[in-house]
Structure 1
């Protein structure tokens, strides 16, 4: 605290020994004067909780009945609604999203507290006493809930497969355009595929059916080639590599 003038020439040694006993590193300056450490800590919590919130929000979206690709861990006794017994709501994920909103809302307050008057302005401390402990506990709660969610996350491959074909092939319009563009040029390919896609949308037809009705397509593709390019399993790109980069043991692919 301060200049440690009261301890004379032993001040720095007393500081070192005390912090060593506490398992802490020796800071370059007192925390009273240097506010960036506190702001950085809260900012990291804000970043962490926002990432958890994003992940949890994805579970909420993909657990919706009309999608049904993911689901929070479930066991008998977990109640989703007091009035609709069939409901299996993503309650843990909802909690994580709510916590993340509260946590990141404190980041501007922490940064605001960096601007103080001289070296020992007590005004920011009193605000920090109010929120630092709370956001620390909230982050712990969000982490605990997230570990529960993603350790036993329920994945429904059949629904994922079903959703791939929901647009009757239209999801692969880019693949068709890029393949056709290699033979007739990208701009002309875009125009042909656009027309076919809009027709398929308007009439509710399979994309393949509309493509096969267009002579310009048949002049450049046979049926087997169209089937191959409309297979979503053939158009995953580097998705697997990107997953390995993010969560793989080496971070490389």
Structure 2
């Protein structure tokens, strides 16, 4: 059908969980769920018959509505809820529901209540799937960190060979970033709030209804709390119509996940270049092919992680701009700008996590290439250590050793030979020099840090299991 967003230009999430979780249908269903839950709360409080709640529930199925028609009517009121209410009431009439059901529907609420709450519901459902994929990705990275805890390789700084490290520590760094992002996401997930304030955030209409029907014992505060419970959302005790912190906090958490996964993808892309060849994406049928070059196996999952990382900052900027320019009791345009930006951040995060889960579990590590590339820098990669340890026994101290390193690099002479010629054997034996030039002996706290991340992962995993 024309007009449907299948994600053809958004390969990070196209065809994955995000396509369904954050679709127009999912959002419309979330609005319907909110409206139906509100009538159920009213019925439970004795404010309308149970029959009305059942009637509204029956018409609260997205499949009953022509979403193309709904979309065409959306510009008329600048949001989709206004025409949707008309369509719901028409469906109630067609079903033979009592006329009072149409009045119980949306009672005391405003469009922003339903739309903000629906967005929060979409976020909650999407974050559940996102965190599951992050759990799988974390498991894969933890496995890499443990397996290669002692695998020595070169660390790069500003693209250049720097000092020895371990590949386990590289994987642990990816894992540490992912765990921090997931924890922040968890805090957001636990506090996703109901929006319920009525026309200008005062719930005046609902309070008036309760007063007119002598239902003062059933307060608007109690009804709002009951609705939050019904929808499994946090009850903030007051509306947040122009306090957009829940939105920017959710967007920031999603962007943080995308950034953590983007770093992972970028490192894999660099290391999988044929001239480096330290890493390879898992080979999968139908993945990574080229339309013109049959020999190519493109690292497509890493490319998609990087695509998400490039895309997210602009979307997050939109959320902060909208929050920072919110005015009056309902923002004029900024509120509307949040919807597509927040949804796309959710889509990118869910899609990126799906890609990262497969990549982390199946990543292939070429230890021979790691060793080869480490040796490309020669003894010079230990120059920091040499300058520190040998300064007392070399005339001229550190500057002299630095000159020897530069001479080795420029003249192609072995640094070991230059040092051997400069330092008498009685001050530095061959065995001592060999030890100083062993990359495995200059890892600092890399292994300790790796173990610390793995311990943190174990605690995180146990906490996850206890929650689920």
TM-score surpassing 0.5? yes
User: For 2:452 and 2:350, how far apart are their aligned partners in 1?
Assistant: 26
User: For 2:280 and 2:346, how far apart are their aligned partners in 1?
Assistant: 28
Quote the RMSD (CA, aligned, Å). 2.0
- Mean CA deviation greater in 139-148 or 104-113: 104-113
The alpha-carbon deviation at position 139 of structure 1 amounts to: 0.8
The alpha-carbon deviation at position 147 of structure 1 amounts to: 0.7
Which aligned pairs between 1:37-116 and structure 2 lie closer than 5 A? 37-114=246-323, 115-116=325-326
1:123 and 2:333 aligned: yes
1:169 corresponding residue in structure 2? 379
User: For 2:268 and 2:338, how far apart are their aligned partners in 1?
Assistant: 33
User: For 1:84 and 1:178, how far apart are their aligned partners in 2?
Assistant: 50
1:142 corresponding residue in structure 2? 352
User: For 1:179 and 1:131, how far apart are their aligned partners in 2?
Assistant: 54
Q: Describe the SS at the equivalent of 1:20.
A: helix
Flag as ranges the 4+ runs of structure 1 deviating above 4 A. Answer: none
Q: Pick from 227, 232, 241: which aligns with 2:434? A: 227
User: For 1:150 and 1:189, how far apart are their aligned partners in 2?
Assistant: 46
The alpha-carbon deviation at position 167 of structure 1 amounts to: 1.6
Q: Which has the higher contact order (CA 8 A, sep 6+)?
A: 2
1:17 corresponding residue in structure 2? 226
Which 5+ residue runs of structure 1 have no aligned equivalent?
none
Q: Give CA deviations for 1:201-225 in whole Å, capped at 9, x if unaligned.
A: 11222221221122x4656311111
1:208 corresponding residue in structure 2? 416
The alpha-carbon deviation at position 180 of structure 1 amounts to: 1.3
Number of aligned residue pairs: give it. 248
- Mean CA deviation greater in 77-86 or 166-175: 77-86
Q: Pick from 169, 188, 206: which aligns with 1:7? A: 206
Decide whether aligned partners of structure 1 residues 128 and 210 sit closer, same or farther in structure 2, where only a CA change above 3 A counts. Answer: same
The alpha-carbon deviation at position 77 of structure 1 amounts to: 4.6
User: For 1:168 and 1:229, how far apart are their aligned partners in 2?
Assistant: 13
2:190 corresponding residue in structure 1? none
Which 5+ residue runs of structure 2 have no aligned equivalent?
1-196, 208-215, 461-468
Decide whether aligned partners of structure 1 residues 231 and 82 sit closer, same or farther in structure 2, where only a CA change above 3 A counts. Answer: same
